[in-house]
Structure 1
Amino acid sequence: MVTEVNELRLGNQLQKLREEQKMSQKEVAKQLNVSVQHIHKWEHNQSYPEIQHLLKLGDIYGTTIDEFIKKDAALQNKINISEEEKEDDDELLHPGFYIGIGIMFLGTFLSLIIGNLMIMMVTNIAGMLITCFYKDILKLLKDVKKDFYEQG
C-alpha cells in the first residue's frame, strides 16, 4: 500500500520515467539545462520543477504535464494554494477600494452642501474601513449567509 502512495508522487513518476528511457540524471539535467542536484531533488520529492521544466520533461518522457499533476495530490494542493495567493496579489485595487473612496467623496460633498461636518467624519471613517477591510467584510457576509441557509 505504501508503495502505491509513493508511486503517485511526482518525484517517483519522474524517476520511473527516466529509468524507462534508460537515461541518467546527468543526461536529463543537461537537456533541461539544470544541475543534477535539481533532478535529484525532484525525484526524491524534495522540491518541484518549475512549469517550463515540467513541460520539457513531458516532451523528454513522452507524457503530458496533465499526467504529472493528476497523479500527485500534493502538487495539486500546491497549485491550488499558489492560485489563491496569486488572486490576492493581483487584486491590489479591489472593488472595496473604489467603493470606500466613493463613500468618502460623497460624504465630503454632502457635508459641504448641508454644512454638517459630522456627515463628512462618519462617511470618511466608513469609507476608510470599507477600503481597508473589504475582503474581510465580504467573507463575513458570506459566512453569515451560509449560516443563515444552514439554519433554515
Structure 2
Amino acid sequence: ETVTFEINGLTKQKVEFFGTGIEMKIEVVDPKHKCVNLGARVLNDNVRRIIPIINNSPVSVTFSLAFTPSEPTLQNNSVLSICPADQITLAANGGTTKVEVWFRPMARIPQFTEEVLLECAGMSQPLFIIKGSCLGMEISLDSNSISFG
C-alpha cells in the first residue's frame, strides 16, 4: 500500500506500507466465565473467583483490565476488586494468566451487573461480566419528624 503525504502544501512524499494486520484475540479460557456470578452474599462475607484468560493472537499483547462500578458502594476497592490491577503481558499463541475477582460486601448491595473491560492501545473491549448482591436489612423512616400530640 502506498500513501502520498503532502507536506506544507509544497511537496509530496510517497510512503510505502507493507505487513499484515492481526486481530487481538484475548478471551476467557472457559466460556462459562463470560458471566461470573458471585451470588447473594451476606455482610462481611468474602468470595474470590479466578478467571483464566488466554491470548489467541499471533503476537504478545500488553493490556490492563478496568471496570467502573455504577453502584456507589462498589466503587470502594475493598468491596469489589480485580487483580492484577496493573498491566498484563500475555505471550503469543496461548499465553495465559489468571484474573482474581474479590467481593467483600460491608453493606446491603442490590443486585448488580458490572462489565470488566480489556484496555489496550487506547481501545476497550468487554472481557467478562460480574454479577452479585449482598443481602441485608435497610430500615428507614418515611418522614423526618414525629409529632407527639
Higher strand share: 2
TM-score (norm 2): 0.27
Say which structure, 1 or 2, has more relative contact order (CA 8 Å, 6+ apart): 2
Q: Answer with 1 or 2: which has the greater Rg.
A: 1
TM-score (norm 1): 0.27
Higher helix share: 1
